[in-house]
Amino acid sequence: MTATVAAIDLGATSGRVVRAEVGPSTLRLDEVARFENRPVKIGDGLHWSVLALYDAALQGVATASRDASLASVAVDSWAVDYGLLRRGSLLGIPFSYRDDRTAHGLELVDAVIAQPELYARCGLQRMPFTTINQLMVDRERGLLEAADRLLMLPDLFGYWMTGRMVTERTNASTTGLMRLDGTWDTELMGMLGIDPALLSEVVEPGTRLAPIDAVTRAHFGIEGAPDVLAIGSHDTASAVVAVPMEPGGAYISSGTWSLVGIETPAPIATAEALEASFTNEGGVDGRTRFLKNVMGLWILSEAVRTWQAAGERLGLPALLEAAAAVDWAVPVFDPTDAAFYPPGDMPERIRAWFEERGQRPPRGRAEVVRCILESLAEGYAVTLRDAARISGQAIERVHVVGGGARNALLCQLTADRTGLPVVAGPVEATAIGNVLVQARALGAAPESLEELRALVRATHELREYRPRHRA
């Protein structure tokens, strides 16, 4: 048996709809739609154009349905962002996690609960944009008074398609409002003045919500009546499903952000993990993603955008080629510094970062690009060494999935700085993980994560990078 399914895969810079045919030994994907995703700045902050995203995504599902009978569809996206609703209607435009209100939200949470106590409850890395911090700003502004429901973005899309309000567990685990045991922390919400009634029933990846409703199908021209399924709706949770790793493997989900870590059977919320800024997020099948957010190719893409806006004609491939030719040591910076979170002139921010510390900044565009990639690779290496030390799990190889798997220089530098072989691919790991969990729920794919990963290894070309010197 094979199943034809569609993945709506929403990234922070673009979205896509992927149609897939999946069976016990079959995994074929076809991208049928791609569309831009760009936050928009208005008077009160930075927002996502969610209606435009929904329209583009459903048009893509319609396209996917015309050439094949779709059994199901599922949505994944970045974490932490949400929509507020009242009586089923969206209240306002969801904020982007890159809006600068998040720093104040962190202060508001800190005034109520100390970080060590919060970490013991939810196990999340201290990041300003976490849902809990955003909600505290909304509360201060009076926005929660009108709301009776909160839905994470994939769950919001699922609601619009089916009329059913749920919260998928892997994404719920990124909010700061969920206990390590996978239940909502209503006590914490009471301390923060957030009404627990805002939150919906938690469902597991693989849960069937309902068919896409008839009105939606008619409006968009979607053929058939595909079911909407919950999968690992946090994009990294889906990506990790598709990491073709075996015991001893670690992963880097490399795109706009870099999520660097290992899979563990249970959360690790120790003082040592807190000190090293590790997070514990829910994975598919009850696994834990023990990882750290190490920023990502966002810094590089913003640097290129800045140069192109100033008239630079060189594209990314030429800049990477020039960076690979840099055969001298370049300085490295901390890519997790909050200065690099918002959009803007990254080359200037990098220059300022070094000068503020009395260090020589990189000079010239090739050196800046090499500096960015070396800094990311060093961040990965430090994080993986910490993950191995804290978890007690030996790491023997590193898997890079997502867009970063295409960046040969970054993969090679990662191998060099970790001293470990790096396996690159698949690039579309998030979409693959999405469709695999759908197919499994439909009875068309193997049951265990290990078998699903073996299917990825058997059907996708992977590239290995060996360290040129030991770390």
Helices (H), 144-203: 153-162, 169-172, 186-192
Contact 31, 14 (CB under 8 A): no
Amino acid, single-letter form, for residue 360: R
CA dihedral 232, 234, 235, 238 (to 10 degrees): -20
Residue identified by tokens 């190719």 is 297
The Cβ of residue 74 has, within 10 Å, a number of other Cβ atoms equal to 30
DSSP 362: P
Contact 263, 18 (CB under 8 A): no
Amino acid, single-letter form, for residue 327: D
Q: Which residues are catalytically annotated?
A: 235
- In whole angstroms, give the CA distance from residue 444 to residue 465: 33
- In whole angstroms, give the CA distance from residue 236 to residue 205: 13
- In whole angstroms, give the CA distance from residue 307 to residue 75: 34
| Token reading at 251 | 């992963």
Question: In this structure, what are the phi and psi dihedrals at residue 95, rounded to the nearest 5 degrees?
Answer: -75, 155
- Closest to 248 measured CA to CA, from 398, 143, 435, 369: 398
| Residues contacting 445, CB < 8 A, separation 6+ | 3, 22, 23, 24, 436, 439, 452, 455
